[in-house]
Amino acid sequence: MKQIFIVFSLVFLAISCKAQQASIHTTTTKEVSATSNPKLVVGIVVDQMRYDYLTRFYSKYGDGGFKRMMNEGFNCKNNHFNYVPTKTGPGHASIFTGTTPKYHGIIGNDWYDKNLKRHVYCVDDDSVTSLGTTRDAGKESPHRMLTTTFGDENRLFTEMRGKTIGIALKDRGSVLPAGHTANAAYWFDFENDGSGLWISSSFYMNELPQWVNDFNTSNITESYFKEWNTLYDISTYTESGSDLNTFEGVFRGKETATFPYDLKQLKDQNGGFAIITESPFGNSLTSDFAIAAIENEQLGQDDFTDVLTVSYSSTDKVGHKFGPNSKEVEDTYLRLDKDLERLLNVLDAKVGKGNYTVFLTADHAAPDVLNYMKSVRIPSGFFNETNMQNELNEYLKVKYGVSNIIVSKINNQLFLDHQKIIDSKLDLQTIKNELGYKLLSYDLIDKVYVTNAFNQFEGRSGYLEDLLSKGHNQKRSGDILFVFDPYVLKEAPWNTTGTDHGTALNYDTHVPLLFFGKGIKHGSTLQKTEITDIAPTISALLGISFPNGAIGQPLKFVLD
């Protein structure tokens, strides 16, 4: 019966095509259409969102944002990352490819390239040119990602008729989700006193569309140089700690990390447009641009499913600076809730209720501020990796007479200079084993794993070993992996206040997963789901091929 109805619907659709075209630009809310697939899939990533932000701030959220997705959609309450490191680049790649760094190759935001003998950034690409800026900030592409996204598969399935567009303040939050065949990926030029423009690269197009130029020449971005005060009376923010404490980072030019923040006054000392990204207004700006893309690119306006990826980066910026227990984080999520409501309302009006599907998740979570953990007597600490590398290199120099065998320490991995070891007629595996024993002697290091001569991870069977294996790429990853004790991070200038992330522990792996809209059941589950299940689920919903490296499974209890 359902198949007969679908055939009839397609005939009816052809007859009523002109009538639908006439109503396509109306701003009134549309009702459900009879097409089989959603006209638009929107994948939302909230950078650094812990699962408990849904429950902690629930009573403060309005009815149209997070609550609407939770109450009208499906809530996977026990959703986790299934690999380490839990970083932004790998997170975004894994969500949209349905696989892990072992296969998609994005093993960190940065890593040591053994062939180039230098560190590389996950999306940098010197073969392309910047669009929208004369700076190198636009020289980015997904060329280092080895597998396809579900957006790629949708483009192939529709013979490139379905569009894919990625949007984020961060380049990696836009480029990786959009995939290899995307029509466009846009990001915000804010780092290193950036231009404050939305930009792209020649990987996608020869020049920016006029609507992007119009957005850039408007006053929308500059309008966010304003006061950031709490959305509601600060005394009602009982879900977070005191506003004045010693656990939070402070903007340059301000004595304390306390409300209010005059962004216009502080911008010159804090990177110009970068300060917008370190406030909730960066998320509002992202919503503004995403809405402009929906309208100007006519997303969801024909019978070929389009894909829009939106990553909200400011939650990560605010979290790193102030930490999960701050009033700044609480206010950022209450304001993001309003931005989500605004985005969903536009989708209702432009695409139509019941015509689109949304999922919302995060690229990683985050622990509480480590110094706060110390203050409440929970074991925690910082590990100095630079001292460790110097000490181990000195040990090898004294024993073997060879300097600087360890060439990099990144993502809790050590990379060795294989050519130097060969030239010195040393045994690679012996060096690895010796360094492994030395690493185990350090306080705050819990476990050490040494790969074999072919850089193949061979950990014992277990939960942690499984996560490490799925995060380990044979050609790209390091020779030795080490794991810190709980609530231990590498010592760095940016994380003595605020927070960081990257581990296999629940405070980094447990993130939200909400499905909402066409083809989605209403309900929730405590059954464990994994981040790699998202792309196969959306692929199953669309009836398209799974991404070519996907290891996750469709969540059939989510699909209607």
Please report, as a single letter, which amino acid is at residue 25.
H
153 in Cβ contact with 544 (< 8 Å): yes
User: Which of 172, 329, 358, 189 shows the shortest CA–CA distance to 273?
Assistant: 189
Closest CA to 431 of 482, 483, 484, 479: 479
Beta bridge partners of 307: 41, 164
Place of tokens 């909730």: 280
The answer to whether residues 15 and 516 touch, using CB atoms and an 8 Å cutoff, is no
The one-letter code for the residue type at 71 is N
- b/e map 292-322, b = 16+ CB within 10 Å: bbbeebebbbbbbbbbbbbbbbbbbbbbbbb
88 is catalytic: yes
Residue with tokens 């006061």: 227
User: 43 in helix, strand or coil?
Assistant: strand
CB atoms within 10 A of CB 482: 24
Q: Are 484 and 383 in contact (CB under 8 A)?
A: yes
Closest to 45 in 3D by CA, of 164, 166, 150: 166
Place of tokens 């030029």: 189
**Other C-beta atoms within 10 Å of 17: how many?**
12
**Which entry of 88, 148, 230, 332 is annotated as an active-site residue?**
88
Q: Which residues are catalytic?
A: 88
